Amino acid sequence: MSDWLDEVRWNEDGLVPAIAQDWQTGEVLMLAWMDREALRRTAELGEAVYWSRSRGQYWHKGETSGHVQKVHEIRLDCDSDVILLQVEQRGGIACHTGRRRCFYKRLENGRWVTTDTVLKDPGDIYG
């Protein structure tokens, strides 16, 4: 029997994009990256674990902030190259900027407009 992780089409860096979506509302909260170990740990823990490309290390979402993503379902897209995590966003904040979601800018008349307010100052979250 093959390992379920072998069915994922990892990119040349051994990564796959992972979209975190609110499991009840369908709202897209964020996009991050996973390698094989991050996806395996996510499935085992039932909480999102990502690979931080900028820091070059694993990132258990909420480990520092307390804003854990409890995973309700893991899905793989039709091309097997994108992961969708349906999550319960604990604490209501997914973005490191202190907002509900990372997609808080909307294109309006040729410029990016911030649409979502900061729920908690990042300095208070991360110290």
Structural domain span for residue 93: 4-126
| Tally of domains within the chain | 1
Residue whose C-alpha is closest to residue 101's, from 50, 30, 33? 30
d(CA 60, CA 113) in angstroms, rounded, equals 30
Q: What is the per-residue pLDDT across 83-111, written as a single tens digit (0 to 9) for each?
A: 999 999 999 999 999 999 999 999 999 99
Mark 61-89 as b/e (b = at least 16 C-beta within 10 Å).
bbeebebbbbbeebebeeeeebbbbbbeb
CATH number of the domain to which 50 belongs: 3.10.20.810
Res. 126 pLDDT band, cuts 50 70 90: confident
pLDDT tens digits, 60-91:
999 989 999 999 999 999 999 999 999 999 99
